[in-house]
Structure 1
Amino acid sequence: MIRPRDETRRDELLAAAFDHAATHGLATLSLRPLARAIGTSDRMLVHYFGTKDELIAQMLDRGKPSIDGQLAASPDLTPGALAHHLWAQMTGDGQQAPRVRLMLEAMALALHQPTKYAHVAATAHRGWIEPVTDALARALDVGHSDAAARATLLVSGLKGLALDVFVTGDRARADAAATLLIDAATRGQ
């Protein structure tokens, strides 16, 4: 007889798996050590998620960085001020930092394992580009193609600088570069 799924327990396991992956990474993730680390068995992970790849896909979907809430919560901020706030959230102690770290790792893994990671990485990327494009188009009163180019510069540039911070720890240099990038991308015509 198939055991019914306890959705509350499934959500708890997914959250714990995400937290573990955010700390230890995806590249060497294995079900048995993950299960031990989060207080369950690999059999239960398979019961709830099917395969390791499905678990990873669901973790990345659950933990993808979110910008929509930031935009909605700060409608009065200028694009530059909002971008500086997002930069701090991406690289500081904000809740976006572990999500950004994991997304950056998934994007890197997608280069050599596209069937596992490319879709999730692309979805997370679009999840930032599209709302930033819309926000810039409104705030700067520019056309969609100009706003999309600015959003791509801003989002991709900040992700690259976040990777720099995570790898080198040189926050001051990256902060200075982020300021230049934000100013360039959000300057009016």
Structure 2
Amino acid sequence: MDTPADDGTPEQAGYRRSAGSPRGEARRRDLLHRVTDGLAVNGLVDFSLRRAARAAGTTHKVLLYYFDGADDLLKQSIFQLREKRTGQAWAAATDEGSARRTPAEWVRTVWPDLVGAEARVLEQAIGLAMYDPDRYAELGRGGASEQYLPVLLSVCPEHWSGQRKHEVAEMVLATLRGFLVDARTSGGTAGIAAGFEALARALEREEAT
């Protein structure tokens, strides 16, 4: 029996790893991590299995063994990027002394991450969902909101009603998304900076009432 190649090629004679085994799952996670890193650098334009395979240091056939095609791989990579950014958002919900930040403090803390290089890919994903919702709806605003809403709700004052927390959280999400779209399409910074400061002040007034 031939031994498997280092890249785990499933076509080796007499060899077939179960993708659901611990070893297979570890291999799948490693491939996804590599593809996700490549996606963060190169963006979604011209994404394909072959480009993903180059980023992962393997072949497109190996990727097809562990993932259900290019769309599945793209979605899982986008979700992994979102999870990473959501983790950063959770970390920003408390200050260094573990005290919970206010909504205004939180938006000021997370904004640099939101406009970072990886964020560009996530905004592209939302555009893809708008362009072809039947195919990429999972990449749209709904998925992002589901990940960010708990963080935003957690920084709202405890004495606020549930309805008030949701209203403020949805307002922050929608406003930040508008700023991000403007940043990606116009390239201007002065107007966005002014609008961002207005949002922070509005949150501070909301917190004071």
Superposition TM-score tier, normalisation by shorter sequence: 0.7 to 0.9
Equivalent residue in structure 2 for 1:81, among 93, 105, 126: 105
Q: Which residue of 2 aligns with 1:117?
A: 136
Q: Larger relative CO (CA 8 A, sep 6+): 1 or 2?
A: 1
Q: Which residue of 1 aligns with 2:156?
A: 136
Q: Give the deviation of 1:180 after TM superposition.
A: 0.8
Q: What are the ranges of 5 or more consecutive residues in structure 1 without an aligned counterpart?
A: none
**Are the equivalent residues in 1 in contact too, given 2:128–2:139 (CA < 8 A)?**
no
Which amino acid counterpart does residue 147 of structure 2 have in structure 1?
Answer: G
Q: Are residues 15 and 162 of structure 1, via their aligned partners in 2, closer, same or farther at CA, if it must alter by over 3 Å?
A: same
TM-score relative to the length of structure 2: 0.75
Say if 2:85 is the partner of 1:69: no
Please provide the CA RMSD for this pair. 2.3
Q: Name the count of aligned residue pairs.
A: 182
**Are the equivalent residues in 2 in contact too, given 1:150–1:186 (CA < 8 A)?**
no
Say if 2:68 is the partner of 1:50: yes
Name the SS for the 1:35 alignment partner.
helix
**Are the equivalent residues in 2 in contact too, given 1:27–1:109 (CA < 8 A)?**
no
Supply the distance in 2 between the matched residues of 1:42 and 1:148 (Cα, whole angstroms).
43
Is 71-80 or 42-51 further displaced after alignment? 71-80
Which amino acid counterpart does residue 151 of structure 2 have in structure 1?
Answer: P
Q: Give the deviation of 1:133 after TM superposition.
A: 2.6
**Are the equivalent residues in 2 in contact too, given 1:103–1:124 (CA < 8 A)?**
no
TM-score relative to the length of structure 1: 0.82
**Are the equivalent residues in 1 in contact too, given 2:36–2:77 (CA < 8 A)?**
yes
Equivalent residue in structure 2 for 1:167, among 162, 185, 200: 185
**Are the equivalent residues in 2 in contact too, given 1:91–1:162 (CA < 8 A)?**
yes
Structure in which a larger fraction of residues adopt helix: 1
Q: Deviations over 1:52-85 (max 9, x none)?
A: 1111121122111303333256534332112100
**Are the equivalent residues in 1 in contact too, given 2:101–2:155 (CA < 8 A)?**
no
Q: Are residues 178 and 4 of structure 1, via their aligned partners in 2, closer, same or farther at CA, if it must alter by over 3 Å?
A: same
Q: Are residues 167 and 112 of structure 1, via their aligned partners in 2, closer, same or farther at CA, if it must alter by over 3 Å?
A: closer
Supply the distance in 1 between the matched residues of 2:171 and 2:203 (Cα, whole angstroms).
7
Equivalent residue in structure 2 for 1:103, among 112, 118, 122: 122
Say if 2:197 is the partner of 1:183: no
Q: What are the ranges of 5 or more consecutive residues in structure 2 without an aligned counterpart?
A: 1-14
Name the SS for the 2:17 alignment partner.
coil
Percent of aligned pairs with the same residue? 26
Q: Give the deviation of 1:34 after TM superposition.
A: 2.3
Supply the distance in 2 between the matched residues of 1:85 and 1:51 (Cα, whole angstroms).
37
Say if 2:47 is the partner of 1:29: yes
